[in-house]
Amino acid sequence: MDKYTEDLKKKADRARVSQERRADLSRRFKSSGNRILSGWNELLERQNSEKGDRIIVWWRLRTVDPVIGMFVLSAIITHLILTLTTPLEDFRKLLHRGSLADYLYLAVTLGGFLFIGWAAVDVVRFKLWRRSLGFRLVGWADLVDDAQLELRQWRACSIRIELKSETNDSREAVKALSQLFALEANKSYYAAESESDARRREAWIASEEGLSGSVNLRVAWKVYKFLSGPVKKYQKARGAIDTVRIELKGESFYVSAPSAD
């Protein structure tokens, strides 16, 4: 075999080896891509299976009023655009040689970022809160996924804390927790425009059967704070709670507020 033919053979061998390596790399890449896609699909499925903890639910409970929500969202977006399009050197000039108005602008800018950071932490806490409760929670998704539940739209609701084994101490603790929630939830009741509207709402009452009252978006947020706060702390300290059941009753109803005129 002459040198020319030998060089051609080596070149062909190198091309074959290179092709095999590319094919192997492609297989590995596809395998990794499939694993990533599979993991992403599992993440989406988990997100869809935990609808009660979606970001949109947090947004509804936090802003309550759609108009307020859109105003806050617009303010955040405007703040980000203005901040990210301002050169860093301009901020330095404002800091060293700025007027009182410039210092106020810097303070608002810093406050905006602090607010965004706080909101991000609050969202993460909301999305993870049910995982560390230590007890079963039934009915939360039904509560927050009720599309008709709004600031002025109410619905009858009950909350029952079921104990693993009832003792005098655990019953008294649950009674105290229930009374605390009733007092806090009733603070969310705005003055109704008429007595007939006011009578449609039931104030929250703690009894031996559990808690009962009326719920709107503001009260729903209080339910979240109640379960993720004092109830969770009691569960960690005593481990006495087995299940908390939230039950919606009847149809939703509208309670008007007095007009501003």
Per-residue pLDDT of the chain (261 residues; tens, 9 = 90+): 556 456 556 666 666 666 777 767 667 656 665 565 555 445 444 444 455 667 778 877 877 666 677 777 777 777 777 777 777 777 777 777 767 777 787 787 788 788 888 888 988 888 889 988 999 999 999 998 887 788 899 999 999 999 998 899 999 999 999 999 999 999 999 988 888 888 899 999 999 889 999 999 999 999 999 999 999 999 999 999 999 999 999 899 999 887 655
**Distant-in-sequence, close-in-space partners of 62: CB < 8 Å, separation ≥ 6:** 122, 221
Give how far Cα 216 sits from Cα of 67, 110, 213, Å.
17, 34, 10
Could you tell me what percentage of the chain is helix, strand and coil, using 3-state DSSP and rounding each to the nearest 5? Answer: 65, 15, 20
Each domain of the chain, given as residue ranges in start order, spans 52-130, 133-254
Contact 240, 170 (CB under 8 A): yes
Residues 6+ apart with CB under 8 A from 138: 243, 244, 245, 246
Q: Rounded CA gap, 205 and 221, in Å?
A: 18
Name, in order, each residue with C-beta under 8 angstroms of 182's C-beta and a sequence gap of 6 or more. Answer: 203, 204, 205, 206, 211, 213
Angle, CA of 3, 7 and 12, to the nearest 5°:
150
Sheet holding 210-215, edge to edge: 136-138, 241-254, 153-163, 210-215, 205-207
Q: Give the residues across from 246 on adjacent strands.
A: 159
Q: Which fold has domain 133-254?
A: Alpha-Beta Plaits (3.30.70)
CA dist 185 and 180 (Å) reads: 9
Nearest alpha-carbon partner for 73 in 112, 126, 111, 127 = 112
- Helical packing angle, 217-226 and 168-186, nearest 10°: 150
